[in-house]
A and B are shown apart, each in its own frame.
Chain A
Amino acid sequence: MGHGLANSSFKNPVIRWMDQRLPLFTLMHKEYAAYPTPRNFNYFWNFGALAMVVLMVMIVTGIFLSMHYTAHVDYAFDSVERIMRDVNYGWLMRYLHMNGASMFFIVVYIHIFRGLYYGSYKQPRELLWILGVIILFLMMATAFMGYVLPWGQMSFWGATVITNLFSAVPVFGDQIVMWLWGGFSVDNPTLNRFFSLHYLLPFVIIGVVFLHVAALHITGSNNPLGIDPKGPQDTLPFHPYYTIKDTFGLGVFLIFFSLFVFFAPNYLGHPDNYIPADPLVTPAHIVPEWYFLPFYAILRAVPDKLLGVVLMFGSIAVLFILPWLDTSKVRSARFRPIYKIFFWVFVFVCLMLGYCGAKPAEGIYVVLSRLGTVYYFAHFLILLPLLGKLERPLPLPTSISEPVLPRGGGAITAGATAKPMDKA
């Protein structure tokens, strides 16, 4: 950190003048254009960029919805109906925002399972992974509070059940719940603070996403082979190779998103939320939004209140220590024949838990939820630590380019010791 001006390689005098004083252009160029990226990404590497786009869509639509929304128990429901009927393009803004939340979770869940499959959480990307889990927690809190804002029956009872989870805390439980509510039940003070926090948290998410990307650009991206790039023959500059790949993926994704927004805007929602909140009547069957269902199934699988709550939060928190639970040094499941099988069993169990979460808590669904819950935790706490020791991985290729370049890119031995990622 010297005095004077920063170096800039930009030619345009205006850009150069700014860049020398605040090297934003150099930074952007380094991180988003020159950034050396493994050459073998598949389409699963699109989902981080997609998540970023959805976050922007949520913030823009949210800001405009807030211009018409009224956070008061007597007006909230009607103000949302007014957005739908009277505000110009209000319906579009709300349907984008409503379905955008679901898209956000679809994209982020795929992004997370990508990481699980290719071992992206392993050394040296542990902190990057932990920041991702923090983002997941923040997203869940944001989506939960957003769902309360339209003040329908599901809003109200969802808020009641979820805030009551904290009453399971020993000794202070009831005080905590009263503090969350600002009263004796979910009511106007609750709605007001939820709106305030719902507006705030997405910006906190931006902050954590920034750290997430900063950490990524230190370690460099993982790739489908899970081995480190050995030299320039293994990487490509981010621009134009991956900017174009991401743009193509974005196009496909936006078509998918639009199908919901324009043709089935309420498909992912629940009709009871078009009934105004009634604090004296619980709907016969309350279910959370689809993205919370597996966790809801875990909560209901346990007959004990405190333990149910602990396991529900634990099912996400266990992801924090995943980098240390998985003892295998091999990242990608491509070279882990047994892990690969258990990975797909795990995906199946998560889907099954989601299915059970949508069903009433009785009969076979309780049994399946219990089995699923046990398996979910066993996957992380028993299978992964053991597999790393017992499984015999397949031989790893010597470099990323070896299977694709003639004579094998690995032939350039000088590059094998230099890690371009460190320079990036």
Chain B
Amino acid sequence: MADITHPDGQDSEGNGTTRRDFLYLTTAAVGAVGTAAFAWPFIDSMNPAADTLALSSIDVDLSPIAVGQSITVSWRGKPVFVRHRTAGEVQAAEEAPEGDMIDPEPDDARVINPEWLIVVGVCTHLGCIPLGQKPTDQRGEYGGWFCPCHGSHYDTSGRIRKGPAPLNLPVPEYEFLSDTQIRIG
């Protein structure tokens, strides 16, 4: 016993640390790691489950969409906007000065074929669905989309130009299977 506990808190070499301090610390460390290891399965169980992650990709037929028209398709529970842009819209998107953009990005980095703009239709502010898909909808000051929740304006490239949203509407992964067929995801 005398070897292990020293009333003055000194070990046999006269250092301020004792074997007991070491035991306390290692026990606490093991306890902390153990608790974290035990908590992780509970926390992780709340992340998307395997079947939720395994959502398949979708194919969209573009042929019925006339110039100037938009359709909304549902992908991973979210709307995806597919817009067949007019020449004017493409031009506006390409010529917009990046200097006054909130999240500067050139239009050609956001499209594969400039006629077709494909973006996830979820406002990057707090997740509302912006207006602008229906011909009667308000499209905001930049002719793209307008989010009514807190007033974000998106341009014809789906870029945020005015309002509280910080980022452009994201472009999902997609490929052209043919001239009139795309696969999203």
Q: Which residues of A contact B (CB under 8 A)?
A: 157, 160-165, 167, 178-185, 187, 189, 193, 279-282, 284-286, 300, 302-305, 308, 361-362
**Among A162, A178, A280, A281, contact of B47 (Cβ-Cβ < 8 Å):** A178
Residue of A nearest to B74 (CB): A280
Given A182-B47, A182-B52, A184-B48: A279 in contact with B151 (beta carbons within 8 A): no
- B65 interface residue per 8 A CB criterion: no
The answer to whether B77 and A185 touch across the interface, beta carbons within 8 angstroms, is yes
Bound CA–CA A274/B165 (angstroms): 29
Given A303-B164, A308-B164: A282 in contact with B48 (beta carbons within 8 A): no
- Rounded to whole Å, the gap between the CB of A275 and the closest CB of chain B is 15
The answer to whether A284 and B52 touch across the interface, beta carbons within 8 angstroms, is no
Bound CA–CA A304/B152 (angstroms): 12
- B72 interface residue per 8 A CB criterion: yes
Bound CA–CA A89/B80 (angstroms): 43
The answer to whether B46 and A182 touch across the interface, beta carbons within 8 angstroms, is yes
- Rounded to whole Å, the gap between the CB of A265 and the closest CB of chain B is 27
Chain A contacts of B46 at CB under 8 A? 179-180, 182, 189, 193
Interface magnitude class on chain B: 20 to 34
Chain B contacts of A187 at CB under 8 A? 77
- B2 interface residue per 8 A CB criterion: no
- Rounded to whole Å, the gap between the CB of A157 and the closest CB of chain B is 7
Task: Name 11 interchain pairs, CB-CB below 8 A, sorted by A.
Answer: A161-B127, A179-B47, A182-B46, A182-B49, A184-B78, A187-B77, A189-B49, A189-B52, A279-B78, A280-B79, A362-B151
Contacts beyond the supplied A279-B74, A305-B166: 5 A-B pairs with Cβ under 8 Å: A179-B43, A184-B76, A305-B126, A305-B165, A361-B151
Bound CA–CA A189/B51 (angstroms): 12
Residue of A nearest to B120 (CB): A184
- Rounded to whole Å, the gap between the CB of B148 and the closest CB of chain A is 5
Given A182-B47, A182-B52, A193-B46: A305 in contact with B125 (beta carbons within 8 A): yes
Residue of A nearest to B76 (CB): A184
Bound CA–CA A308/B164 (angstroms): 9
Given A182-B47, A183-B48, A183-B77: A160 in contact with B127 (beta carbons within 8 A): yes
Bound CA–CA A180/B43 (angstroms): 10
- B20 interface residue per 8 A CB criterion: no
- Rounded to whole Å, the gap between the CB of B55 and the closest CB of chain A is 8
Contact with A along B92-129 (1 / 0, CB 8 A): 00000000000000000000000000000010011111
Chain B contacts of A302 at CB under 8 A? 164
Given A164-B126, A285-B148, A300-B150: A185 in contact with B76 (beta carbons within 8 A): yes
